[in-house]
Amino acid sequence: MSENDVLVSIKNLGVSFYSEDGIAKAVQDVSFSISKGKTFALVGESGCGKSVTALSIMKLIPFPPGEIVSGSIYFKDKNLLELSPKRMRTIRGNKIAMIFQEPMTSLNPVYSIGDQIAEAIMLHQHKTDEQAWADSVGVLKQVGISDPERRVYEYPHQLSGGMRQRVMIAMAISCRPELLIADEPTTALDVTIQMQILDLLDELQEQNDMSILLITHDLGIVAERAHKVAVMYASRIVEIAGCRALFDEALHPYTQGLLKSLPRLGVNKKRLDTIPGSVPEPLHFPEGCKFHPRCPLGNKDNRCRSVEPDLREVKPGRFAACWRVQGYQTEKERLEYGTKFGK
């Protein structure tokens, strides 16, 4: 993959939230890049920092209490973190658009859906009222809403959940963004509707050569939709891999645990495998590797308990943050480990 194919490149992103009880490091040292026209999935459990990462790209972290404390986010050749709010507004909703989890609460109930879609078109593309309205109808048709000429006049409460999510998508793609951030786009929907919405996103990606940052907790969706995956746990990325490679052979113990704990159709088991314990809270992260208290390998390992591993390339195209993954330690570290920690 050449450098030119990269649309977004995030390096060492750190986001903290300040509260009376202390500083919560919601995102730490997150680096990844999204290629043009591809789907990059960010997967993890609630509270792992995946949504905060997405909001950072949009520069929508509320300040206070939140603040982006370190790193850079390059969108093509511009570092978004250095842009003025005014410049950022020309990109947000225009070049980078976002769809949210809750189609019920993300739409304004007192405006017709046509008004809401046209607003973005008028703002970003400097079109007249009529043109924007015509575009709204067109974009509704594109997302598969039947009878769009009538639907533009309707209000969010008149639509079903799946329809509302389609409207959200219509709004997001109305300015033909280069990057679409989809934050749990189907979590509130039924499985059959979920499939339709994901199919729609795929179609739009192909038509517009759009990159998608797909944020989800559902590994099944990731397997079926993503080109590349990053797994997040407790504010860090613990593994990055090509989609198929990850599901064929997960390297990090957390990823392995997640995959094993899924109930699968057609696999008869008396019990499910589990990951013991629960996700630590940002104010009380354990020392060392944050996964070690729940890890089948790291429990007894001194190094896992005291030194936090960073993300490294362990073999071509595979990144992991775990002392116990083969190929992770350098020769120097192995020697140090022998002397410093004892076996």
Instruction: Note whether 314 binds other proteins by CB under 8 A.
Output: no
Rounded to whole angstroms, the Cα distance separating 71 from 62 reads 17
Instruction: Note whether 93 binds other proteins by CB under 8 A.
Output: no
The residue (of 98 and 226) whose beta carbon lies closer to other proteins is 226
The residue (of 120 and 222) whose beta carbon lies closer to other proteins is 222
Binding other proteins (rule: CB under 8 A), the pick from 23, 81, 195, 307 is 195
E strand or H helix at 124: helix 113-125
Kindly write out the interface string for residues 100-139 of this chain, putting x where it contacts other proteins by CB under 8 A and - elsewhere: ----------------------------------------
The alpha carbon dihedral of 107, 112, 118, 119 has a sign of negative
**What pairing do the DSSP bridges indicate for beta strands 228-233 and 236-242?**
antiparallel
How many residues in total does the chain contain?
343
Instruction: Note whether 191 binds other proteins by CB under 8 A.
Output: yes
Rounded to whole angstroms, the Cα distance separating 235 from 308 reads 12
Instruction: Note whether 283 binds other proteins by CB under 8 A.
Output: no
Instruction: Note whether 226 binds other proteins by CB under 8 A.
Output: yes
Q: How many CA atoms within 13 Å lie on the side-chain side of 221?
A: 28
Interaction with other proteins in 239-278: which residues (CB under 8 A)? 243-244, 247, 257-259, 261-266, 268-276, 278
Contacts of 89 (CB under 8 A, 6+ apart): none
- With CA atoms as reference, report the closest residue to 246 among 224, 229, 262: 229
Report in angstroms how near the CB of residue 273 gets to other proteins at its nearest: 7
Report in angstroms how near the CB of residue 201 gets to other proteins at its nearest: 12
Instruction: Note whether 227 binds other proteins by CB under 8 A.
Output: yes
Instruction: Note whether 23 binds other proteins by CB under 8 A.
Output: no
Binding other proteins (rule: CB under 8 A), the pick from 279, 286, 297, 302 is 279
Which amino acid type is present at position 255?
A: T
| Burial track 26-57 (b if 16+ CB lie within 10 A, e otherwise) | bbbbbbbbbbbbbbbbbbbeebbbbbbbbbbb
The residue (of 41 and 120) whose beta carbon lies closer to other proteins is 41
Which residues of this chain interact with other proteins, rule CB under 8 A? 45-46, 144, 160-163, 190-196, 199, 217-227, 243-244, 247, 257-259, 261-266, 268-276, 278-279
